[in-house]
Amino acid sequence: MSDAAIIRAAGEGERLWFAGGGVHVWKATAEETGGAFLLFEDRMPKGKTTPLHTHPHEDETFIVLEGEILVHVEGVEHPVGPGGVAVVPRGTRHAFLVISEMARILALQTPGSGEAFYRDASEPSTDETDAVRPADFDRLRAAAERNPSCIEILGPPPFEAANEVAARAEA
């Protein structure tokens, strides 16, 4: 890990709209941590979901600060609310769905080697409404294909409600 301390106040950090939906505020990058980890805050609207996926080389931890998410791990769904945590070991099939009006989580990946995927699937954000901007799953899939050591997308979101919403949107 780097010898330099990383200090960021609430709201500080690089802001990126993520193609999977939501706005990331990066609290500690892989470069800053010498590759040890990546830490970002993610603000997301109700219905934001991830496809079923794995991270082959990174463990992923979600700490819910506000709101509630439903975490799908190896076929089982777990609600996680404020103060709750979900730790997903590398190689584990998982996804999550925001079930409250808004959710704010801290996402920690160890090591920080997955950062390339997130950067590839993001763009700078300066507008608060970016948090509710629709996901761009084509861009997300393309970024995943370019970064196979960071993420493997296994299929659509495993949540019945999310799949119904996606089907209506495509009709």
Nearest to 4 by CA among 28, 23, 40, 38: 28
- Residues shown for the chain: 171
Nearest to 66 by CA among 100, 97, 38, 39: 100
Q: 52: which 2 tokens?
A: 């079923």
What domains can be seen in the chain, in order of their start residue? 14-170 (2.60.120.10)
150-167 pLDDT per residue, tens: 999 999 999 875 555 555
77-119 pLDDT per residue, tens: 999 999 999 999 999 999 999 999 999 999 999 999 999 999 9
Read off the pTM.
0.88
Provide the pLDDT confidence category of residue 2 given band limits of 50, 70 and 90.
low
Residue 170 has pLDDT above 80, yes or no: no
Comparing 171 with 92, the larger pLDDT belongs to 92
Facing residues of 41 across strands? 25, 106
Helices marked H in the chain — which ranges? 115-120, 137-146, 160-170
Residue 168 has pLDDT above 70, yes or no: no
Provide the pLDDT confidence category of residue 127 given band limits of 50, 70 and 90.
confident
* Residue 34: per-residue pLDDT: 94
Radius of gyration of the chain (CA): 15
34-68 pLDDT per residue, tens: 999 999 999 999 999 999 999 999 999 999 999 99
Q: Are the CB atoms for 59 and 109 separated by under 8 Å? A: yes
